[in-house]
Structure 1
Amino acid sequence: MGEGEGNRAYGHKPFKRSRSHFSDRITADGREGWPVEAGRYRLVVSRACPWASRALVSRRLLGLEGALSLAVADPLQDDRSWRFTLDPDGRDPVLGISHLAQAYEAREPGHPGGVSVPAVVDVPSGKLVTNDYQQLTLDLATEWTALHRPGAPDLYPEPLREEIDEVMEDVYRDVNNGVYRAGFATGQAEYEEACAGVFRRLEWLADRLAGQRYLVGDTITEADIRLFTTLVRFDPVYHGHFKCNRWKLAENAVLWAYARDLFQTPGFGDTVDFDHIKRHYYQVHTGINPTGIVPLGPDLDGWHTPHDRERLGGRPFGEGTPPGPVPAGEEVPAVPAAGA
């Protein structure tokens, strides 16, 4: 997942997420040696990982599927971390490697730190370019514009960036990362502080979203993407596995409707694989769930039920249009419709 995650030993130190070790940027002018170029790079993700899922959503909304190819790792890791066992012969068909670690090693032999997703790999050299999940999606929105599809939304509009950044910082600290601080806590006080912070922020978000359809402005922005990838995992894993159980997402009318609204928007729900999500968290985090048992619930039918958020107005894609169909080979199993 993002830096600092995985099947690690849990001591008595508070959970702290590591910084991305490789923070090169792929830019329109190539100022860091990595110019935006169709077909040159490969995005490596796990559909289990919320940080990687941001990139999946952004790539779909912006129509970058044809310019930035996709490699999906197995949700279950081995001692070398993310692996390509979902592909024929256990190798990524473009990079020709069995483990993402090989791209890290090609970039910096013996590099410190773990192997995280999302990662962008330079196809010609086989070297990792970046694992900076915070910057990656911002650059997809602002540096890759020449390769965006016609009608692509502006996910990081310049007039709103200060407000978007402020909201995202609060959401990251208390929600995106807060659930991990609660889940990986090794002391009662540490857990209670993190868990309380998660729900304080969720209640603040519910108040904010009660009267507006999206977090900032009247269109979908990067802020919505970053909140969605945590909310969609909340009831399946964070509520039970990470003990963030004061209430379920489905018990908060505003946030549940907001999350369903986004899930039903092309580019969001069609990137979500609940099977990968549940198997990864419950089977990889053996320090928290030593039996490796994956729970049967919760019932996922509700994601397709009406959300009634249209009454708040808003224009999901601004002056743009919805993305097209999911490309062949990138489909994920759909959540069963209610009553199915």
Structure 2
Amino acid sequence: MSTSPLAADVNRGASAFRGRIGRDARSGHYAVPHRYRLHLSTACPDGLRLAVGHSLLALDGSCPVTVLPAVPDRPDGGHAALLPLYEASAHHYTGPAVAPVLSDDWSGRIVSTHARDILRDLDRFAYDGDTCLYPCGTESVIEAVERMCTEGIEEAAQSAGRAGTDPAERAAALEVLIGTLGRLERRLLDAEYLVDDRLTAADVELWVTLVQLDTVHRCHLDASAVHRIAGHHALWAYARRLAARPAFGRHVDLDGISRRHHGRCQGLEAAGAAVQILDWAGHAADAPDTSRR
């Protein structure tokens, strides 16, 4: 796969850098160890996905990670530590310096700020051979899971918990959410993982989405809705199993997720806030820290 040119729309007020990692030196950015660096916050779902994927691929030695604060320190929602990278990468850049970022230490510029592109490109790096997040022939299935997580869980949960939304719209959004969870539940009744009985990017995507559902979106749902969500026992058992794995559980920053949520969210807390589905802190504690960083 060839790399696409680095691009940024400095007038949108949001990052849009989408360079890609290529296979060899003929590409502008190629997969060589010790050239690239990840900048992320694990309190952000995109940052958490990348942290988990980075650990699964055992890239600690070849692509270091700079962990950023849970709450950005600039009024525009960006990180001061990332501003030099943004300014070096786009002339007169005026948007927020947001994470996550994959940067090129050789040039001091940004390669990409698109989380899913970054995860796919990390999968192109040399790794230990035990894990491949995008096995050949699974891309379309993984993309389908990504859409289910984005539209059927994330967006549906936001709509179901949004204050001021018409009750009929909230009910419809909740039914979309429950229906999506039900389809995933049926898939996991007799399978350990979502795709080809092996751990892939689909599992990283779904697991992080479930973390967000229980730690963020649940707070804006009523208790009845949360009980319906929690009733998908195979799905939450799957989330619990993954949370107990070091590559997953040790990256869960519950305090950071809470501070980020309260710093950004304007919604009203509902009764579901008191109905925790999983003990994320307990399962994360069960995951030993095997980090080589």
Q: The TM-score by the shorter chain falls in which range?
A: 0.7 to 0.9
Are positions 1:39 and 2:19 aligned together?
no
Give the structure 1 partner of residue 53 of structure 2.
58
Give the structure 1 partner of residue 239 of structure 2.
259
Residues 186 and 73 of structure 1: CA distance in aligned 2, closer, same or farther (over 3 Å): farther
Contact 1:73 1:82 in 2 (8 A): no
Are positions 1:166 and 2:144 aligned together?
yes
Distance 1:182 1:32 in 2: 45
Distance 1:216 1:173 in 2: 19
Q: Matched residue of 1:128: which SS?
A: strand
Displacement of 1:130 in angstroms is 0.4
Distance 1:105 1:134 in 2: 23
Displacement of 1:30 in angstroms is 5.0
Residues 260 and 192 of structure 1: CA distance in aligned 2, closer, same or farther (over 3 Å): same
Residues 51 and 259 of structure 1: CA distance in aligned 2, closer, same or farther (over 3 Å): same
Are positions 1:325 and 2:290 aligned together?
yes
Residues 201 and 113 of structure 1: CA distance in aligned 2, closer, same or farther (over 3 Å): farther
Give the structure 2 partner of residue 216 of structure 1.
195
Residues 118 and 186 of structure 1: CA distance in aligned 2, closer, same or farther (over 3 Å): farther
Normalising to structure 2: TM-score of the pair?
Answer: 0.80
Give the structure 1 partner of residue 104 of structure 2.
122
Displacement of 1:60 in angstroms is 0.3
Are positions 1:153 and 2:114 aligned together?
no
Distance 2:275 2:258 in 1: 10
Displacement of 1:196 in angstroms is 3.1
Are positions 1:103 and 2:81 aligned together?
no
Displacement of 1:131 in angstroms is 0.7
* Paired AA for residue 152 in structure 1: D
Residues 168 and 112 of structure 1: CA distance in aligned 2, closer, same or farther (over 3 Å): same
1:89-137 per-position Cα deviation (integer Å, ceiling 9, x unaligned): xxxxxxxxx4323322221134475443221112233222101112111
Residues 300 and 207 of structure 1: CA distance in aligned 2, closer, same or farther (over 3 Å): closer
Quote the sequence identity (%): 31
Which structure 2 segments of 5+ residues have no match? 1-12
Displacement of 1:28 in angstroms is 2.1
Give the structure 2 partner of residue 72 of structure 1.
67
Contact 1:182 1:191 in 2 (8 A): yes
Residues 164 and 300 of structure 1: CA distance in aligned 2, closer, same or farther (over 3 Å): closer
1:40-89 per-position Cα deviation (integer Å, ceiling 9, x unaligned): 22101111111111111111011101111111111112314243xxxxxx
Contact 1:74 1:82 in 2 (8 A): no
Taking the TM superposition and a 5 Å limit, the aligned residue runs for 1:226-305 are 226-241=205-220, 246-248=225-227, 250-285=230-265, 287-288=266-267, 298=276, 301=279, 304=282
Give the structure 1 partner of residue 9 of structure 2.
none
Contact 2:163 2:267 in 1 (8 A): no
Residues 211 and 112 of structure 1: CA distance in aligned 2, closer, same or farther (over 3 Å): farther
Give the structure 1 partner of residue 5 of structure 2.
none
Give the structure 1 partner of residue 165 of structure 2.
187
Give the structure 2 partner of residue 133 of structure 1.
115
Contact 2:154 2:213 in 1 (8 A): no
Distance 2:29 2:193 in 1: 33
Distance 1:190 1:297 in 2: 23
Contact 2:38 2:63 in 1 (8 A): yes
1:282-301 per-position Cα deviation (integer Å, ceiling 9, x unaligned): 1232x2369xxxx8984864
Which structure 1 segments of 5+ residues have no match? 1-17, 84-97, 306-322, 329-340
Distance 1:327 1:288 in 2: 39
Q: Matched residue of 1:325: which SS?
A: coil
Contact 2:215 2:258 in 1 (8 A): yes
* Paired AA for residue 112 in structure 2: T
Contact 2:181 2:232 in 1 (8 A): no
Give the structure 2 partner of residue 81 of structure 1.
77
Q: Matched residue of 2:138: which SS?
A: helix
Displacement of 1:174 in angstroms is 1.4
Contact 1:260 1:303 in 2 (8 A): no
Count of residues in correspondence between the two structures:
271
Distance 1:303 1:112 in 2: 38
Displacement of 1:223 in angstroms is 0.5
